Amino acid sequence: MICLSLTAPTVAEAVEVAAANAELIGAVELRLDLLDGDLSAAVREFPRRCDRELSRRHGSALPRILTVRRATDGGEFSGSEAERLELLRTGIEAGYDYVDLEEDLHGSREGEALAKAAGATGTRVIRSYHDTEGVPAALPELVRRLSQREEEIPKLAVTPRGISDLRRLLSVAPKMRKSNGILVGMGTVGIPTRLLAPRIGSFLTFCSAGNKQAAPGHLDPETLVGLYRHDMLGATTRLFGVIGNPVMHSKSPHFHNRVFAERGLDALYVPFHVDDVDEFFKLAEELPIEGVSVTIPHKAAVISHLREVDESVTATGACNTVVRGAAGGWRGVNTDVSGFLTPLQAARSVKDAAVSVVGAGGAARAVVYALAGEAARICVLNRTAERARRLAEELSASHGFHNISSAALEPENEELLRRHSDIIVQTTSVGMAPHADEDPLHWYEFSGNELVYDIIYTPEITRLLARARKAGCKTVSGSEMFRGQADEQARLFCELVSSA
Which residues in this chain contact ligand ATR in the complex, by CB under 6 A? Answer: 359-364, 382-384, 387, 427-430, 440
Neighbouring CB atoms inside 10 A of 232's CB total: 14
Q: Which is nearer to ligand ATR, 180 or 245 (CB)?
A: 245
Q: Which is nearer to ligand ATR, 54 or 392 (CB)?
A: 392
Q: Which is nearer to ligand ATR, 403 or 427 (CB)?
A: 427
Least Cβ distance, residue 451 to ligand ATR (angstroms)? 21
Q: If DSSP codes are grouped into helix, strand and coil, which group holds residue 27?
A: strand
Least Cβ distance, residue 245 to ligand ATR (angstroms)? 14
Least Cβ distance, residue 360 to ligand ATR (angstroms)? 4
What angle do the packed helices 478-499 and 335-347 form, to 10 degrees? 130
Distance CA 191, CA 176 (A): 18
Residue 325 CB-density burial (10 A; 0-12 exposed, 13-18 middle, 19+ buried): middle
Cβ pair 358, 425 in contact under 8 A: yes
- Report residue 159 CA to chain centroid gap: 16
Least Cβ distance, residue 464 to ligand ATR (angstroms)? 12
Least Cβ distance, residue 310 to ligand ATR (angstroms)? 19
Residue 56 CB-density burial (10 A; 0-12 exposed, 13-18 middle, 19+ buried): exposed
Q: DSSP per residue over 430-492, as a string?
A: TT-TT-TT--TTTTPPP-S--EEEE---SSSS-HHHHHHHHTT-EEE-HHHHHHHHHHHHHHH
Least Cβ distance, residue 364 to ligand ATR (angstroms)? 6
Q: Which is nearer to ligand ATR, 213 or 314 (CB)?
A: 314
Residue 82 CB-density burial (10 A; 0-12 exposed, 13-18 middle, 19+ buried): exposed
Cβ pair 314, 346 in contact under 8 A: no
Q: Which helix (H) or strand (E) holds 323?
A: strand 321-324
Q: Which is nearer to ligand ATR, 291 or 359 (CB)?
A: 359
Long-range (24+ apart) CB contacts under 8 A made by 169-176 are: 169/135, 169/139, 169/193, 170/200, 170/283, 170/286, 170/287, 171/139, 171/286, 172/139, 172/140, 172/143, 173/200, 173/201, 173/202, 174/201, 175/140, 175/143, 175/144, 175/147, 176/143, 176/147, 176/201, 176/202
Tell me the pairing of strands 377-382 and 354-358.
parallel
Distance CA 86, CA 339 (A): 61
Distance CA 357, CA 364 (A): 7
Q: Which is nearer to ligand ATR, 115 or 425 (CB)?
A: 425
Q: Which is nearer to ligand ATR, 49 or 298 (CB)?
A: 298
Spatial neighbors of 83 by CB under 8 A, at least 6 apart, are none
Least Cβ distance, residue 491 to ligand ATR (angstroms)? 24
Strands of the 451-454 sheet, one edge to the other: 404-408, 377-382, 354-358, 423-426, 451-454, 474-476
What angle do the packed helices 362-373 and 385-399 form, to 10 degrees? 40
Least Cβ distance, residue 152 to ligand ATR (angstroms)? 51
Position with the least CB separation from ligand ATR: 361
Q: Which is nearer to ligand ATR, 14 or 358 (CB)?
A: 358
Q: If DSSP codes are grouped into helix, strand and coil, which group holds residue 263?
A: coil
Question: Is there a catalytic annotation at residue 155?
Answer: no
Least Cβ distance, residue 379 to ligand ATR (angstroms)? 14
Q: Which is nearer to ligand ATR, 149 or 387 (CB)?
A: 387
Which of 116, 175, 299, 470 is flagged as catalytic? 299
Least Cβ distance, residue 281 to ligand ATR (angstroms)? 22
Q: Which is nearer to ligand ATR, 257 or 428 (CB)?
A: 428
Residues with catalytic roles? 299
